[in-house]
Amino acid sequence: MKDQVKKWLESGTVDIFLGMKMVDGHPLPHAFTLGNISDLEELVPGTVRYPLETFAAELAAENPDARIGLAARECTQRALNVLSLWNQAPTDRIETIKLNCCPSPLKEHAACSYLDPPEAGLFKKHFGIDNAADPEAVARFEPRERFSRWMYEFQKCIKCYGCRNICPVCFCEDCSLEHKDLIGTGQLPPEAPIFHLVRAVHMAGRCIDCGLCEEACPADIPLRLLYRKVNAVVDDLFDYRAGEGEQPPPFNIIGERPSLEPKPMENGSACPQR
Amino acid sequence: MAGLAAAFGSGAMTNSIADIEKAGCIFIIGSNTTACHPLISRRIYRAKERGAKLIVADPRGIQLSRFADVSVHHRLGTDVALLNGMMHIIVKEGWHDADFISQRTEGFDELSQVLDRYPPNRASSLTGVSVGQLKEMARHYATYGPAALLYAMGITQHTTGVDNVKSCCNLAMLCGNMGVAGGGVNPLRGQNNVQGACDMGGLPNVFPGYQPVTDPEVRAKFSAAWKKELPAVPGLTITDMVPAMLEGCLKALYVIGENPKLSDPDWNHLHHALKNLDLLVVQELFLSETAQVADVVFPAASVAEKDGTFTNTERRCLRIRKAIEPVGDALADWQIISRLSSAMGYPMEYGSAEEIFEEIRQMAPKSYGGMTYERLGIDGLQWPCPSTDHSGTPILHTQTFPRGKGKFHGVDYQAPAELPDEEYPYALTTGRMFAHYHTGTMTRISEKLDNEQPTGYVSIHPEDAARLDVAAGDPVRLSSRRGEMEAPARITRSVPIGTLFLPIHFGENPTNVLTSAETFDPLAKIPEFKVAAVRVEKLPVEKEL
Amino acid sequence: MTLKRMRFLQEVLDFVGLGGRLHMEWISSAEAQKFAQVVTDFTEKIRRLGPNPLHAFIQPDMILRPRVVAASGLKSTAAEKEDAKGSLPFTGKQ
Ligand code: SF4
Ligand code: SF4
Quick: pLDDT tens for B244-296: 999 999 999 999 988 887 777 777 788 888 999 999 999 999 888 889 999 99
Selecting from B45, B435, B453 the residue whose C-beta is nearest the C-beta of A220 gives B45
Three-class SS state of B194? helix
Distance B1 CA to ligand 2 centre (A): 33
Higher pLDDT, A247 or A37: A37
Distance A131 CA to ligand 1 centre (A): 14
Q: Which of B98-102, B211-215, C45-49, C65-69 has the lowest mean pLDDT?
A: C65-69
Task: Write the pLDDT tens digit of every residue in B487-529.
Answer: 888 888 888 888 888 887 777 677 777 776 666 667 666 767 7
How high is the pLDDT of residue A272?
35
Distance A168 CA to ligand 1 centre (A): 7
Ligand 2 pocket check for A260: Cβ under 6 Å = no
Nearest atom in ligand 2 to the alpha carbon of residue A213 is 1
Q: Which parts of B426-528 are beta strand (E)?
A: 426-431, 458-460, 475-479, 484-491, 499-503
C91 touches chain A (CB under 8 A): yes
How high is the pLDDT of residue A21?
92
Average pLDDT over residues B461-469: 89
User: Do A112 and A204 have their domain in common?
Assistant: yes
The B-side interface with A (CB below 8 A) comprises 34-35, 38-39, 41-42, 45-46, 48-51, 63, 66-67, 377-379, 433-435, 448, 451-453, 457, 490
Q: For ligand 2, atom 7, which residue shows the shortest CA distance?
A: A157
Tell me the pairing of strands A26-32 and A16-23.
antiparallel
How high is the pLDDT of residue C52?
78
Is residue A225 included in any domain, yes or no? yes
Nearest chain C residue to A234, by CA: C8
Average pLDDT over residues B307-321: 91
User: Do A62 and A32 have their domain in common?
Assistant: yes
How high is the pLDDT of residue B124?
94
Three-class SS state of B153? helix
pLDDT value at C67 more than 50: no
Q: For ligand 1, atom 2, which residue shows the shortest CA distance?
A: A213
Q: For ligand 1, atom 5, which residue shows the shortest CA distance?
A: A207
Ligand 2 pocket check for A218: Cβ under 6 Å = yes
User: Do A126 and A215 have their domain in common?
Assistant: yes
Q: What distance in Å separates the CA atoms of residue B233 and residue B252, rounded to the nearest whole number?
A: 19
Task: Write the pLDDT tens digit of every residue in B318-377.
Answer: 999 999 999 999 999 999 999 999 999 999 989 999 999 999 999 998 899 999 998 988
Closest CA–CA distance from residue B61 to any residue of chain C (Å) = 5
User: Do A132 and A214 have their domain in common?
Assistant: yes
Is residue A113 included in any domain, yes or no? yes
Question: Please, which pLDDT band fits residue B85 given cuts at 50, 70 and 90?
Answer: very high
User: Do A132 and A94 have their domain in common?
Assistant: no
How high is the pLDDT of residue C90?
65
Q: Which of C56, C47, C48 is nearest to C86 (CA)?
A: C56
pLDDT value at A260 more than 60: no
pLDDT value at B138 more than 70: yes
Question: Are A176 and A260 spatial neighbours (Cβ–Cβ below 8 Å)?
Answer: no
Three-class SS state of B439? coil
Closest CA–CA distance from residue C93 to any residue of chain B (Å) = 6
User: Do A14 and A120 have their domain in common?
Assistant: no
> In percent, how much of chain B has pLDDT > 90?
39
How high is the pLDDT of residue B542?
60
Question: Please, which pLDDT band fits residue A274 given cuts at 50, 70 and 90?
Answer: very low
Closest CA–CA distance from residue C91 to any residue of chain A (Å) = 7
Q: What distance in Å separates the CA atoms of residue A127 and residue A140, rounded to the nearest whole number?
A: 15
How high is the pLDDT of residue B533?
84
Biggest distance spanned by C-alpha atoms of chain B = 71
Ligand 1 pocket check for A70: Cβ under 6 Å = no
A134 touches chain C (CB under 8 A): no
Cα distances (angstroms) measured from residue B153 to each of B156, B213, B361, B519 = 5, 27, 30, 16
Q: Which of B385, B403, B401 is nearest to B393 (CA)?
A: B385
Q: Which of A186-190, B15-19, B70-74, B233-237 has the lowest mean pLDDT?
A: A186-190
Cα distances (angstroms) measured from residue A6 to each of A43, A47, A56, A247 = 11, 22, 18, 34
Is residue A206 included in any domain, yes or no? yes
Q: What distance in Å separates the CA atoms of residue A13 and residue A10, rounded to the nearest whole number?
A: 8
How high is the pLDDT of residue A182?
79
Ligand 2 pocket check for A159: Cβ under 6 Å = yes
User: Do A7 and A123 have their domain in common?
Assistant: no
User: Do A151 and A175 have their domain in common?
Assistant: yes
Nearest chain B residue to C76, by CA: B493
C36 touches chain B (CB under 8 A): no
Q: Which of B41-55, B228-242, B346-360, B443-457 has the lowest mean pLDDT?
A: B443-457
Is residue A263 included in any domain, yes or no? no
Is C12 in contact with A201 (Cβ distance < 8 A)? yes
Is A251 in contact with C1 (Cβ distance < 8 A)? yes
Question: Are B94 and B138 spatial neighbours (Cβ–Cβ below 8 Å)?
Answer: no
Is residue A23 included in any domain, yes or no? yes
Closest CA–CA distance from residue B240 to any residue of chain C (Å) = 38
Is residue A192 included in any domain, yes or no? yes
Distance A163 CA to ligand 2 centre (A): 5
Buried b (16+ CB within 10 A) or exposed e, B343-364: eeeeeeeeeebbebbeebbebb
Average pLDDT along chain B: 87
* Highest averaged pLDDT of the listed ranges A261-270, B118-127, B196-205, C77-86: B118-127
A200 touches chain C (CB under 8 A): yes
Average pLDDT over residues B88-109: 92
Question: Are B207 and B218 spatial neighbours (Cβ–Cβ below 8 Å)?
Answer: yes
Contacts of B170 (CB under 8 A, 6+ apart): B7, B83, B87, B111, B408, B409, B411
Question: Domain boundary at A64, A98, A132, which?
Answer: A98
Q: Hey, which chains touch A, using 3+ CB pairs under 8 Å?
A: B, C
Task: Write the pLDDT tens digit of every residue in A38-55.
Answer: 898 889 887 788 899 998
| Residue B392, CA atoms < 13 Å, CB-side half-sphere | 19
User: Do A153 and A194 have their domain in common?
Assistant: yes
User: Do A215 and A148 have their domain in common?
Assistant: yes
Distance B390 CA to ligand 2 centre (A): 37
How high is the pLDDT of residue C86?
46
Is A151 in contact with C91 (Cβ distance < 8 A)? yes
Is C9 in contact with A201 (Cβ distance < 8 A)? yes
User: Do A206 and A116 have their domain in common?
Assistant: yes
Task: Write the pLDDT tens digit of every residue in A155-207.
Answer: 999 999 999 999 999 888 778 888 877 787 788 888 888 899 989 988 888 89
Q: Which of A144, A134, A143, A141 is nearest to A222 (CA)?
A: A134
How high is the pLDDT of residue A191?
82
> In percent, how much of chain A has pLDDT > 90?
21
Q: For ligand 1, atom 7, which residue shows the shortest CA distance?
A: A207
Q: Which of A192, B148, B43 is nearest to C90 (CA)?
A: A192
Is residue A246 included in any domain, yes or no? no
Q: What distance in Å separates the CA atoms of residue A201 and residue C13, rounded to the nearest whole number?
A: 10
Question: Are A271 and A183 spatial neighbours (Cβ–Cβ below 8 Å)?
Answer: no
End-to-end CA distance of chain C: 45
The domain total for chain A is 2
Higher pLDDT, B23 or A110: B23
User: Do A93 and A121 have their domain in common?
Assistant: no
Selecting from C59, C69, C74 the residue whose C-beta is nearest the C-beta of B66 gives C59
Ligand with smallest separation from the Cα of A163: 2
Ligand 1 pocket check for A167: Cβ under 6 Å = yes
Ligand 2 pocket check for A220: Cβ under 6 Å = no
Selecting from A25, A123, A188 the residue whose C-beta is nearest the C-beta of B63 gives A188
Is residue A27 included in any domain, yes or no? yes
Which domain range does residue A20 map to? 2-98
pLDDT value at A264 more than 80: no
How high is the pLDDT of residue A29?
92
A178 touches chain B (CB under 8 A): yes
Distance A176 CA to ligand 2 centre (A): 15
Provide the whole-model pTM: 0.87
How high is the pLDDT of residue A273?
34
Distance B314 CA to ligand 2 centre (A): 24
Q: In this structure, what DSSP letter does residue C62 have?
A: S
Cα distances (angstroms) measured from residue B27 to each of B133, B187, B470 = 14, 12, 36
How high is the pLDDT of residue B127?
93
Selecting from A158, A186, A220 the residue whose C-beta is nearest the C-beta of B452 gives A186
Question: Domain boundary at A48, A66, A98, which?
Answer: A98
Ligand with smallest separation from the Cα of A53: 1
Domains contained in chain B, CATH given: 2-187 (3.40.228.10), 194-382 (3.40.50.740), 426-538 (2.40.40.20)
Higher pLDDT, B161 or A267: B161
Nearest chain C residue to A134, by CA: C15
Selecting from B61, B70, B490 the residue whose C-beta is nearest the C-beta of C60 gives B61
Q: Which parts of B257-328 are beta strand (E)?
A: 279-284, 296-299, 308-311, 316-320
Closest CA–CA distance from residue A124 to any residue of chain B (Å) = 5
Residues of chain A with C-beta less than 8 angstroms from the C-beta of B447: none
